[in-house]
Chain A
Amino acid sequence: MANVSEPVNPGKGHAEHGGDAHAHPSFLAHHFDTPAQQFNAAKLGMWVFIATEILMFGGLFCAYAIWRAVDPAIFDQAHHFLNKKMGASNTIVLLFSSLTAALAVRSAQVGKRKLTSIYLVITILCACAFLVIKYFEYSHKIHLGLLPGHCFGHPGFSGAIQNGEEVGTCLRVHADQAAGTPEWVRAIDEDGHVQLLPPRSNMYFGLYFMMTGLHGLHVLIGMSILGWVLVRNMKGQFSKEYFTAVDLGALYWHLVDLVWIYLFPLLYLVGKPE
């Protein structure tokens, strides 16, 4: 007899059903009537979730649009401090990883388990490459002091000046502890030119770190999802009839890629050439 305290658990397999008469695939959860219904529900669920992610990033894009309209001078200059080569590499890496994710879905669809694993591994490795490149970008900025808020102009989050004395970290919990208005910062941009950044560039870098940081967090989440899908695939839980998790995991990964496709031109490419 079915164990009534765990009525629906597709991962558990069919064994507990014992002599139960109804024949349904092991991957079909008990609360669904047909595999098609289950798949449709899962797909709709993922699309709704993607809509929520788009709205969340949308708030940041909205903030970007507002500040760009208010302060175009900052946006014209600050983008020189972003490494276009690294950004472009990241774009190519993510686009390629989307391709391999789609190929993973295709090979799952035709029942090629080993190939699916290979594609998933490549996708995850691409994600790692993205994060490594991001690490280099971030550490360079931290080194230059191109940091948000109070930390603007203070390399390595250190060296804040208060009352003429150097105090530890520039991270502040309360704005009223800020050591006055930020100063102009003289820095060398990615092309080796010396640039003078106006004090409110901290706003630009605040947006930069929030947008790319939130995106980076989603790369990590996407990697974890794909990693879990990989493990399930290696355990043989997928087949031609059932590969929903691969499909939805790849769908999520496409979203992560898409957000970057918007971020890259808006942050790295738009601005006055010099």
Chain B
Amino acid sequence: MAAVDIPISGAHAADTHDDPDASYLKAGRGIGSWLTTLDHKRIGLMYLTMVCLAFFTGGIFALLIRLELFSRGRTIMDAETYNRFFTLHGAIMVFLFIIPSVPAALGNFFLPIMIGAKDVAFPRLNLFSYYIYLLGAAVALLSIIMGSVDTGWTFYTPYSVQTQNSVISMTLGAFILGFSSILTGLNFLVTVHTMRAPGCTWSRMPLFVWGMYATALIQVLATPVLAITLLLLCAERFFGIGIFDPKLGGDPVLFQHFFWFYSHPAVYIMIVPGMAITSELIATFSRRAIFGQFAIAMSSISLAVLGFLVWGHHLFAAGMSEYATMLFSALTFLVAIPSGVKVFNWTATIYKGSILWASPMLYAMAFIFLFTIGGLTGLFLGTLNVDIHLTDTYFVVAHFHYVMMGGTVIAFVGGLLYWWPKMTGKMHDEVKAKIGFVFVFVGFNTVFIPQFIMGSRGMPRRYYDYLPQYEIFHRISTVGSWILGTGLLITGYTLLEALWRGKRAPRNPWGSAGYEWMTDTPPCLANFHKTPVFTRGPYDYHLATPEELATGWDEVEQDGKKG
């Protein structure tokens, strides 16, 4: 008897779209059925489309920035344009791409399935959050037409109060996007608390869900503070209330405190989901339960909590008191521990596993490689006197790209490759995916390692131009950006190509014991044909039956169906 106690459905579900057992993709036709859907899976896919578009747009800005920095002096654009481009790159990547990326796209799709639920707790709120995202994105992008923003994505005052550009529309856009994030988090919190299937105890909950839960905690508690900070900034610009402008008696450093009180927890909104995906990938591709599963779950929660206490480390050079810098430095080192625990546990999971070197696993291993570098370089920045030399230089730029891009984006792509068959019912070409991976990995390191060196040698950030001694580093970095861009394009193409040319995917192509692989590929509308009862953990390979772990490739080949 199957330990998960669900009737394992065949490799492909019935095709008629009136059949409730039909794949969710076939339930309802036409664009109207998508725009009014309440199905978390379709909403997840709509979010996925938008965040990928946002990533592409932000990426174009990045390539243009790097192109400008290829040579000293003017290369392709003037300085005002450059200032706007790096601001837009940051704002689009942070607010339109990375914060929604894993939770709203993959989280929406998989969280309910992984706890055996039919949907999230509030499906209409879910759809509403998607439309809020679209509205927020539109308002933020409106700022481009209205003269754009050149303050950096951090909007520091007094420059952001005084600059002649369209700060208000960009900040209002971010304000609206914040509500989308809050509502997604709210939905996830309630879903996890109230809709777990029988047998899905907290300790049996997949680590991806633990990660989404911890992220949701941060989204719900931190984002409102950003909302009020941005409102105050708008009021400052419009009315001149004077809270941040010293000419009117305000305190510019207060803005930094308010801003980073949200934005530091925000980086944990970005990385915890990436870590959550990595846990899933490492377990599946080692065919072994995650070592120290409880510790990994608790470390996600610790990151959520401790992440609220360290915002001041962005202000070490800003004019805070020595007492405050001491507290924040100590707490910053404390928050390093949970991240380290995860890395050690993943490595111990690979030990004595049976490792499948598929493309998602390549990305998972790349995550460990790149996140370790990102995390270790954080030690430099948490050490007060060393930070004084490194803050506001390219060292910081390289550090956060290693954790955000080498961390979250790498995990996100790995997750897409892993779950693409489940979501779309199609297998992508593994060869192309691996070629894309090589370009991405080599390109990424080529872009950012020179930036560490430039930074420690004294190159400040947000510079349109630079002194001659940094030129060689900038050139290497720019060439790296072309390699990285090529890799991402290859990978994007691989995923899209699968949609029209890919082999039909079997139920469980990777042979995983995870709960999401126990149902149809793609899932039916209600995710499972009847309410599942979980009698084992999601990584219990020694308890799963051979039928549960069967990939189903044999059946696909027998059917002789392709495409």
Contact = CB atoms under 8 A, between A and B. Distances in A.
23 contacts: A1-B18, A7-B118, A7-B119, A8-B119, A31-B118, A31-B120, A44-B194, A51-B221, A52-B223, A55-B222, A55-B225, A56-B225, A58-B225, A58-B228, A59-B228, A59-B258, A67-B243, A147-B239, A149-B235, A174-B162, A174-B237, A175-B161, A182-B248
Given A59-B229, A149-B248, A181-B247, A45 B20 contact: no
Interface of A: 1-2, 4-9, 29-33, 37, 40-42, 44-45, 48-49, 51-53, 55-60, 62-63, 66-67, 70-71, 147-151, 171-176, 178, 181-182, 200, 202-203, 206-207, 210, 214
B545 interface: no
B121 A41 contact: yes
Contacts of B176: none
A55 B222 CA distance: 8
A8 B124 CA distance: 9
Interface of B: 17-20, 22, 27-28, 33, 36-39, 117-123, 125, 158, 161-164, 182, 186-187, 189-191, 193-195, 220-225, 227-229, 231-232, 235-243, 245, 247-251, 254, 258, 525-526, 531
A74 to B, nearest CB: 9
Given A56-B227, A172-B240, A175-B158, A37 B195 contact: yes
A147 B37 CA distance: 46
B224 A149 contact: no
Q: Closest 10 interchain pairs by CB?
A: A206-B241, A5-B28, A149-B240, A59-B228, A56-B224, A31-B119, A149-B239, A55-B224, A31-B118, A41-B194
Contact of B190 (A41, A175, A182): A41
A176 B248 contact: no
Nearest to B34: A5
A213 to B, nearest CB: 9
Given A4-B525, A59-B224, A175 B235 contact: no
Contacts, number: 175
Contacts of A151: 239-240
A59 B225 contact: yes
B556 to A, nearest CB: 26
B232 A53 contact: no
B248 A203 contact: yes
Contact of B241 (A30, A58, A66, A149): A149
Secondary structure call for the A interface: helix
B38 A7 contact: yes
Contacts of A33: 531
Given A5-B33, A175-B162, A203 B242 contact: yes
A4 B17 contact: yes
Contacts of A30: 118
A100 to B, nearest CB: 28
Contacts of B190: 41, 44-45, 48
A70 to B, nearest CB: 8
A7, A29, A32, A41 interface centre (most CB from chain B within 10 Å): A7
Contacts of A52: 182, 186, 220-221, 223-224
Contact of B243 (A6, A7, A147, A203): A203
